[in-house]
A and B are shown apart, each in its own frame.
Chain A
Amino acid sequence: MKKLFQEFTKGIHRENPIFALALGLCPTLAISTSVKTGLGMGLAATFVLIGSNVIISAIRNGIPHKIRIPCFIVIIATFVTIVELVMQAYFPPLSKQLGIFVPLIVVNCIIMCRAEGFAAKNPPTRSLFDALGMGAGFTLGLVLISAIREAIGSGRLFGYILFKGYQPALTLALAPGALLVLGLLLGLSNLIFKRK
């Protein structure tokens, strides 16, 4: 049990996909304009991650080594299609805001990295906890970045106005702000955790 818990926490802290591994940065930057979209994207990616990790680790001994990557891609793409259709059916505004980044979860490096690096070598229970941890780490990172951008860039949090009479620094809500916030946060996490 303790081991399973470690699989879970490593994704949040020691091997955080965004800050420690620098994976999955394209969706991180593009949809972190507000906390809502950040949270939506994080949860969608977590769902795909859990599904693909469990299925891949369950059938890992049946997949021929040479064609494993195409097999992984098909499994991941299946779950992405599920997310895409569910989101269009039940959360149309969110689906519109995330746009092409929902189908693009297929090429999110985090999911491929966990499939190849963890699920293909470990039993389903451990893979499940690994996926949960990685998903939680990704979602937390996304929420952190989008909270900073939403607070400074538009003076709101979850759509609620934070300060009255605050003149928003629009740049942070636009493309350059995303790159700047991520760069500074990566530097900060290097400084705090002494990563190199």
Chain B
Amino acid sequence: MDLGLLLSIVIGNIFISNFILFKFLGLCPFIGVSRKTGPALSMGAAVIFVMTLSSIITWCIYNFLLLPFNMEFLRTISFILVIASFVQLAEMIILKTNPTLYRVLGVYLPLITTNCAILGVTVLNIDMFFKEGKALSFSFFYAVLQGFCAGLGFLLAMLLMSGIRERLDILDVPDSLKGIPLAFIVASLMSLAFMGFSGFKF
């Protein structure tokens, strides 16, 4: 296993090419659910959970079903359907086994299906860890790690943003900038700060 690649997956997905602030994936929940810290935390946790597990499932589907039968063109359809049904399944399992967690995640769980970060990370896994129709060595491990770390990066950005927006609520800003426009300008400054992490080299 390549330690450099491992480190670059971890640091890269959490800080340097953060899913929200650098790759622009999952902006809808980022803007929609970041008004308060509590819901932002739950949303981030739910995303980590779904991202990691859907990385596992889609890797298996691509490697064991689509590749052997030359059906790579079905990637988009099969992935989105699997993610949608998997989110439903996860919802049912969590409801049965851990009602407290279910209540904390609430409406955010079904919303995750349409979160482009989830489909994005699974497609990226396939693009990065398969070369010429073959899985790289340890590619399964890399894919799962990337799913988990992308989720962590998502959680980090959500938490920071919700902290800032809680403060912004009590400030006097121009009417036309209130809400979403200001959220984007704040996100832009955060993204500028996160670019500083790109100094890390491996």
- Residues in chain A within 8 A of chain B (CB atoms): 22, 25-27, 29-30, 69-70, 73-74, 77-78, 80-81, 84-85, 99-100, 103-104, 106-109, 112, 171, 174-180, 182-184, 186-188, 190-191, 196
- A26 touching B181 by the CB < 8 A rule? no
Pick the residue among A73, A104, A175 that contacts B195 (CB under 8 A): A175
Decide: A180 near B184, CB < 8 A? Known: A25-B27, A25-B28: yes
Q: How far is the CB of B198 from chain A (nearest CB, A)?
A: 10
Could you give 24 example pairs across A and B, Cβ below 8 Å? A26-B26, A26-B28, A29-B27, A70-B81, A70-B85, A77-B76, A81-B73, A84-B73, A100-B123, A104-B119, A104-B123, A174-B195, A175-B191, A176-B189, A176-B191, A176-B192, A177-B188, A180-B184, A182-B184, A183-B181, A183-B184, A186-B184, A187-B174, A187-B176
Chain B residue, CB-CB nearest to A113: B114
The 7 closest A-B pairs by CB, nearest first: A183-B184, A179-B188, A187-B181, A190-B176, A191-B176, A183-B185, A180-B188
- B181 touching A184 by the CB < 8 A rule? yes
Chain B residue, CB-CB nearest to A84: B76
Chain B residues near A84: list those with CB within 8 A.
73, 76
B contacts with A, residue count (CB < 8 A): 42
- A74 touching B77 by the CB < 8 A rule? yes
Chain A residue, CB-CB nearest to B117: A26
Name which of A22, A69, A99, A171 has the most chain B CB atoms within 10 A of its CB: A22
Chain A residue, CB-CB nearest to B17: A175
The secondary-structure label for the interface of chain B is helix
Pick the residue among A26, A106, A112, A190 that contacts B24 (CB under 8 A): A26
- A187 touching B24 by the CB < 8 A rule? no
Chain A CB within 8 A of B115 CB: yes
Chain A CB within 8 A of B130 CB: no
Chain A CB within 8 A of B75 CB: yes
Q: How far is the CB of A57 from chain B (nearest CB, A)?
A: 21
Chain A CB within 8 A of B40 CB: no
- A107 touching B187 by the CB < 8 A rule? no
Give Cα A148 to B174, complex, Å. Answer: 23
Pick the residue among A25, A100, A180 that contacts B124 (CB under 8 A): A100
- A112 touching B114 by the CB < 8 A rule? yes
Q: How far is the CB of A29 from chain B (nearest CB, A)?
A: 4
14-64 of chain B: CB within 8 A of chain A? 21-28, 31
Chain B residues near A182: list those with CB within 8 A.
184
- B73 touching A85 by the CB < 8 A rule? yes
Chain A CB within 8 A of B120 CB: yes
Q: How far is the CB of A110 from chain B (nearest CB, A)?
A: 11
Chain B residues near A69: list those with CB within 8 A.
84
Give Cα A5 to B106, complex, Å. Answer: 41
- B76 touching A80 by the CB < 8 A rule? yes
Chain B residue, CB-CB nearest to A196: B175
